[in-house]
Structure 1
Amino acid sequence: MIKIDDYELLLKLNEIGTIRGTAKAILISQPAVTQRLKFIEEYFGELIFIRTPKNLILTPSGEIILEHAKKVVMNEQAIKNMLAKSSNEVQGTLSIACSSLISQRFLPKILGEFTNRYPKVTVDLVTGISEDIRKNHKDYHVCIIRGEKLKESVSIRLFDDPLYIFDTEPFPKDTLKERPLISFKSDDSMHELVDNWLYHHQQQIKPLRTMTVDQIETCKQFMKQGIGMAVLPKSVSDSMMDEFPHVALELDGKPVTRYTWVSYQEGIRELPQVDEFIKMLTNQTFL
């Protein structure tokens, strides 16, 4: 018998394009994904994907089945939402897409409080860089992103996160500082802020080369080991202020800042679980 999970698996396989990548994303083994796909194809009696060395390609039959899968998943979610709205008790599914930095630094405490208060709510959480979340923002009830707000959504600014440049070596005022720069994977708006600030301060600071790492925590550790400078937001570096030389990023006397927003579609707060989460989020003190 085909389940909702099977339809969700087909959508995820089509989105990611590989069995290996899908297995990694949904945290189950590659053979398990292959076996489940084989079962679904046998159920429909049709080949859904052609397997190539690089990716999965939808067959014409697969396109029809995938359209059906989208409708089934959407209808299932719509029914859950209707039931959640009609109930006096806060329950149902709350889907959140959240910036990796916020999910690591602030979200565990907030979700801990939320799930204790509303144990019947199922939380569906996806994390990643804000740029990727923007592309699929309509797939989620709530998006917590960094940088620019979502233009087609209702957006509330949660907090401003000023940037600092850190190093194990001092920042001299009168001579040019030449050091490697360690950067972490982020969206383009973050890199633009840093590049713009460095351009206006090229007489004081010159990166010899740039090393890019995946995680902000790796970036911090590399800086602490003396490998080079790193630009970090206050939210993840306030404990380092007393320990390492640093300079606040400013332009025209104003701090260079990353904004954090909670964004959602108009009307979605009619769902009690979404409304309660947004209330909790906007009542938090972040910095």
Structure 2
Amino acid sequence: MKIEDYQLLLDLNQCRTIRKTAKSILISQPAITQRLKYIEEHLGGKIFLRTPKGLLPTPFGEVVLTHAENVLDQEDMLQEKLAQVEGKVAGTLSLGASSLYSQHFLPDLLQSFTKAYPDVTIDLVTGVSEEIRQAASPFHIAIVRGEPIEDYESFHLWSDPLFLLDTVPIGKGERPLIEFKSDPGFQKLIETWMARDRGILVKRSIKVDHFETAKQMMMRGLGMTVLPSSIIYEEKDTYSWLPLEKEGQAMVRETWACVKPGSRALPQVEAFLNHMRSEVSG
């Protein structure tokens, strides 16, 4: 069997239908069906059952899928070791990145990085910082907001002051606060500010899933929200805003690049780290 066969099995298991798999990997359904038939005949057993809810791995298939994951992991490790020996910037770069960073900063960074290093494959997972922090072990580099990851080599990227924004003058009466899903570190900053700033009347009545949703709702006059400086350059020219402060000092959200121990020995990791730091400093 080829590496591509093991990847196809994992794709089928993730997508659950041949149709969705074909759409995802840009291969025709008949070609996938034929290849799956060959793999099952080669291995001597049924890997998937076709059910109304999609493909379901058989006990035989579960063993094969576990083996497929191990084969692909070993292949990645081999490619990384070969690249390390040759000093070539290639292989897979596994990244975990906070939602804010991945939406507003990572696309441009990856565009310039992959242009400079076309032999590097990017494996990216995004989520709120706490999710990335909790699932950091597979990532070569985890980009998180708040506190750095313990026992990782961490590089400070920037400090992000927090601002309260609204469509009406701030402090002129009680207003709904539009909150969004975030990690405990951000929530602690909000709670600290609310406990100290008694001059602003807040009605905690709206909670959404994403900071961009909160911003859009604020822009439509549904309430005020707290956002970091890095994503509100234009909004500060249009809406009322107030910096969040604690004892006269700006309340900030830190951004860190946290590198898994030992990962900097991989050329693609060191190259991305240097590229990212040069972009931030530039």
TM-score interval, smaller chain: 0.7 to 0.9
Q: Which deviates further from its counterpart, 81-90 or 39-48?
A: 39-48
User: Against the structure 1 CA distance between its residues 60 and 152, is the aligned structure 2 distance closer, same or farther, given a 3 Å change threshold?
Assistant: farther
| Equivalence for 1:121 | 120
1:195 to 183, 191, 198: 191
1:183 aligns with 2:184: no
**Given the superposition, is the C-alpha separation of residues 204 and 71 from structure 1 closer, same or farther in structure 2, using an over 3 Å criterion?**
same
Give the TM-score, by structure 2 length. 0.81
Residues 16, 56 of structure 2: 8 Å contact kept? no
Quick one: structure 1 residues 134 and 49, their matched pair in 2 at CA, closer, same or farther if it must change by over 3 Å?
Answer: farther
Q: Aligned residue for 1:168?
A: 167
How do 1:1-287 residues align onto structure 2 when only pairs under 5 Å count? 1=1, 3-4=3-4, 6-7=6-7, 10=10, 13=13, 19=16, 27=24, 44=43, 45-46=45-46, 60-172=59-171, 177-212=173-208, 214-285=209-280
- Offset from partner CA, 1:143-188 (integer Å, 9 cap, x none): 111122111321111111111110011123xx6x311122233223
Kindly indicate whether the alpha-carbon contact (under 8 Å) linking 2:97 and 2:126 is maintained by their aligned counterparts in 1. yes
**Count of equivalent residues:** 274
* Structure 1 runs not aligned, ≥5 long: none
Contact 1:95–1:142 (Cα < 8 Å) also in 2: yes
Take 2:178 and 2:34, find their aligned partners in 1: how far apart are those partners?
A: 42
Distance (Å, rounded) in 2 between the aligned partners of 1:36 and 1:99 = 40
Checking the alignment, whether the CA contact within 8 Å between 2:9 and 2:65 is kept in structure 1 is no
Cα deviation for residue 211 of structure 1 reads 3.2
Change in Cα spacing, 1:109 to 1:188, as seen in structure 2 (3 Å) is same
Change (3 A) 1:49 1:157: farther
1:48 CA displacement:
6.1
Higher deviation after alignment, 244-253 or 127-136: 127-136
TM-score between the two structures when normalised by the length of structure 1:
0.80
1:79 deviation in Å?
0.6
Per-residue deviation, residues 56-97 of structure 1 (Å, max 9, x unmatched): 987654553344233212211111101111224322222212
Q: Could you tell me which runs of 5 or more consecutive residues in structure 2 were left unpaired when the two chains were aligned.
A: none
Pairwise CA RMSD of aligned residues?
A: 3.4
CA distance in 1 between counterparts of 2:105 and 2:154 reads 19
| Equivalent position SS for 1:77 | helix
